[in-house]
Structure 1
Amino acid sequence: MLLAGPTAVGKTALALELARRLGTEIVNADSMQVYRHMDIGTAKPSAEEQRLVPHHLLDVVDPDEPFDAARYVAMARPVIDRFHRRGRIPLVVGGTGLYMKALTRGLCPGAPAAPEVRRTLMEEMARRGSAALHEELCRVDPVLGRRLHPNDRQRILRALEVYRATGRPLSHWQEQHRFQVSLYPGIKIALFRDREDLYERINRRTWIMMEQGFLDEVRNLLAMGYAPSLKPMQSLGYRHLCDHLSGRRDLDEAVALIQRDTRRYAKRQMTWFKGDPEFHWFHADDPDPVFRWVERRLGETDAG
């Protein structure tokens, strides 16, 4: 069972209650909550919430370890298979649509790696910056370019690596795959809120994170030796506060940019999940229809 939705929509609270009612546990599907030492800025479930319902795939790698959808699937499938062998339904919760799609539909094999091309691209990125390479990607692969943020260095590098090595955009390879394999039968739930309500929640949660010590969390990560250029340190919030700590922007500006970019990210998440017709949508403020719908679907499954 999948529970998805944009950041700050209210997935955690509903997931805890749904897991309690089903007598099951939660499998994380958030690409940032897999990292150790990154708790506040990723809105990771609190220690108390993790005591209420066991969670899996939280804090499984350090910020300087490579992690992607393939590694996520490799770690998640054994966990899910253990649930299935015991006759229990795992509850996969998160906002990273690619991880959920890869888990349920398989990974696009894409083109083989081209190490020489990758090295050239990394040199270009160091010299020209990720924004310039993102502009190039938008020209050669506009479909993927629209989906990727200019700071998403790793995915930009991979997309340009594929294009330069094969002459075909990565979106072409993905279209050939089309995620047509169904690895797990699933119940897919997505939560939504009115846009203004969601944006207000994002703005408010950003300030709550700051009050909880988000800046100190980033400061501690830098003190531990994790470079600002690392993929997770370039994610929402972390890159903005790294800029503040380096003196490139003041704190109020950094917070405002976190809020703005998080709102934009939430919009992209909504677009992603709406592209999957298997998701059934529910308003986050009214959980009872979710519980009734899940109960009905499980009853239909048992009857079948």
Structure 2
Amino acid sequence: MKPVICIAGPTASGKSAYAVRVAKAVGGEIINADALQVYSDLHILSARPTEDEESRVPHHLFGHVAGDVRYSTGEWLRDVEPLILACLARDVVPVLVGGTGLYFRALLQGIADIPPIDDQTQRETAQLLDEDGIGALRALAERLDPTATARVLGDDPQRLQRIVNVARGTSRALTAWQANTRSVVPLRFARYCVLTPPRETLYARINARYDEMLRGGGLEEARRVFDLNYDPSLPMMKAIGLRQLRSYFKGLSSLDEAIEDAKRESRRFAKRQMTWFRNQPPKGKLLLTDADKDAFLESMTGVSF
């Protein structure tokens, strides 16, 4: 059997371009593992692969979800499993790439089959965050599920909201749901690497990429999204780089102020991502500097089980 290659890393670490190189070298196809790149309404500001990258190797699960859908990790797992199996059946290497740590953890370690959470519960949790702040959200999460909350490092509103929503929406803590899980890809069949550019290099890339996004139509994309009048609590609407532009369109800030805010929040997000990927299992993951990329690619050529 061919291996399943997983390429993770923080935003702007060069994952998309590297995944194309790997897929071309091993005879693979690319599958999205990024929670924002699934949305059809958010192409530029989610940094989806370029047309050139998509033309060089098949890509899957990019832009296949409408922006008003609350797409979950469980739904992604249900979508990705048949794609992986189809690739392996055709003797093709699945190359999963993205910056969503929960997706990779669910893939390799399993995920509980949690029922969908109703919209009202999610809106109430989002309102708590908006009105009372991240401290109040964490305090509630700690009361409802202290075990799961203890695993959340720093300010991570998405994960804290998930803990609260599951406990409120199912009357059962996320920790209890996670007690019985199965992995889609057993770790022994996966090759998992994390791209780790130097922090200064990464931050410079983040700043430059956001400027490039805006030059490439990102401002117009944001305007189209806001014109759809989606619920602000939807996952897509919380995208860093999108939500900061709302204040500009409402006349509450200048464009320069919105841009600087977006860059700053993107850098903070990248720092949280790196903390996650360095500290979360599996122990066998490879942390790749730019100098390590060629060696990893060569090690994957011809690998099978």
The TM-score, its normalising length taken from structure 1, stands at: 0.84
Give 3-state SS (helix, strand or coil) of 2:28's partner.
coil
Contact 2:9 2:273 (8 Å CA) reproduced? yes
Distance change in 2, residues 1:95/1:174 (3 Å): farther
Aligned length: 291
Tell me the C-alpha RMSD between the 2 structures. 2.8
Rounded Cα–Cα distance in structure 2 between residues aligned with 1:9 and 1:44? 13
Q: Which residue of 2 aligns with 1:63?
A: 67
Contact 2:31 2:95 (8 Å CA) reproduced? yes
**Bigger CA drift: 188-197 or 127-136?**
127-136
Residue 250 of structure 2 corresponds to residue 243 of structure 1: no
Distance change in 2, residues 1:173/1:209 (3 Å): same
Following TM superposition, by how much is the alpha carbon of 1:98 offset from its aligned partner in structure 2, in angstroms? 0.7
The equivalences for 1:103-118 within 5 A come to 103-109=107-113
Contact 1:138 1:145 (8 Å CA) reproduced? no
Following TM superposition, by how much is the alpha carbon of 1:284 offset from its aligned partner in structure 2, in angstroms? 2.5
Kindly, what percent of the aligned residue pairs are identical? 33
Structure 2, gaps ≥5 residues long: none
Residue 137 of structure 2 corresponds to residue 134 of structure 1: yes
| Per-residue deviation, residues 266-301 of structure 1 (Å, max 9, x unmatched) | 112112222221211211355321222223xx54x4
Contact 1:36 1:62 (8 Å CA) reproduced? yes
Q: Which residue of 2 aligns with 1:193?
A: 197
Q: Which residue of 2 aligns with 1:82?
A: 86
Give 3-state SS (helix, strand or coil) of 2:193's partner.
strand
Distance change in 2, residues 1:168/1:199 (3 Å): same
Contact 2:6 2:192 (8 Å CA) reproduced? yes
**Bigger CA drift: 243-252 or 91-100?**
243-252
| Per-residue deviation, residues 172-223 of structure 1 (Å, max 9, x unmatched) | 437745x674633211111111111111111111111121121111001122
Contact 2:126 2:233 (8 Å CA) reproduced? no
Q: Which residue of 1 aligns with 2:284?
A: 278
| Per-residue deviation, residues 221-273 of structure 1 (Å, max 9, x unmatched) | 12234344422011111111112212222221211111111111111211222
Q: Greater relative contact order (Cα 8 A, min sep 6): structure 1 or 2?
A: 2
Give 3-state SS (helix, strand or coil) of 1:25's partner.
strand
Contact 2:141 2:160 (8 Å CA) reproduced? no
Q: Which residue of 2 aligns with 1:52?
A: 56
Contact 1:10 1:284 (8 Å CA) reproduced? no
The TM-score, its normalising length taken from structure 2, stands at: 0.84
